[in-house]
Amino acid sequence: MRWAWAFVLSFGFWLLLTWPPGWQELSVGLVAAVVATTFFGRMLRLKTVRRLFDPRRYFWAICYVLVLIYRIFVANLDVAYRVLHPEMPIKPGIVKVKTVLQNEVAKTVLANSITLTPGTLSVDITDDGYLYVHWINVRAMQEEEASSYIVGRFESLLRRIFE
């Protein structure tokens, strides 16, 4: 069953990349899907495939993207204010924030989301669930308060998507 799903996903992805397919694209895609399934089919977990087709994950992913766009917009306004202000009111620093996410992909998406938000930059992710974030205007030095301000906006949605 695992091999069949790996073949279907590989060939489906090939079709998405080469749409509209002709007979050459179909034949090369079949060969490529067989080769990919042969070498990487054992890596596919059926639990992951089932989760891929779960409509709840897509709902939460859309919510996450909307929250991310909103946060990027608000952060852009904040950074623009700081740049245009005559005294340039910034207080840069690196803060340590805690995340409860266990999935490595979820942690990576969280770090990238923080980096995409103007005024913040993910510097490091540790194995024990800490992120080091450079913040243009440090508002909280305490770990809990900084975590709720920086990570709290994204973490609950990412948990619903990835875990």
Q: Give 33-85 pLDDT, tens digit per residue.
A: 888 888 777 666 655 556 666 788 889 999 999 999 999 999 999 999 988 98
Residues 102 and 137 in one domain: yes
Residues 47 and 74 in one domain: no
- Cα 34 to the chain's mean position, in Å? 29
Residues 114 and 145 in one domain: yes
Residues 119 and 46 in one domain: no
Residues 146 and 71 in one domain: yes
Residues 122 and 89 in one domain: yes
Q: Would you place residue 25 in the very low, low, confident or very high pLDDT band (cuts 50, 70, 90)?
A: confident
- Determine the average pLDDT of the residues in 102-124: 91
Residues 83 and 129 in one domain: yes
Domain that residue 111 falls in: 58-162
Q: Would you place residue 94 in the very low, low, confident or very high pLDDT band (cuts 50, 70, 90)?
A: very high
Q: Which of 29, 51, 73 is the last residue of a domain?
A: 51
Write down the pTM of the prediction: 0.71
Residues 64 and 88 in one domain: yes
Residue 163 has pLDDT above 80, yes or no: no
CA dist 106 and 104 (Å) reads 5
Tell me, what's the pLDDT at 148? 83
**What number of helices (H) and strands (E) belong to the chain?**
7, 3
Query: Shortest CA distance to 2 belongs to which of 40, 54, 57?
Result: 40
Number of domains in the chain: 2
Residues 91 and 139 in one domain: yes
More confident residue, 49 or 23: 23
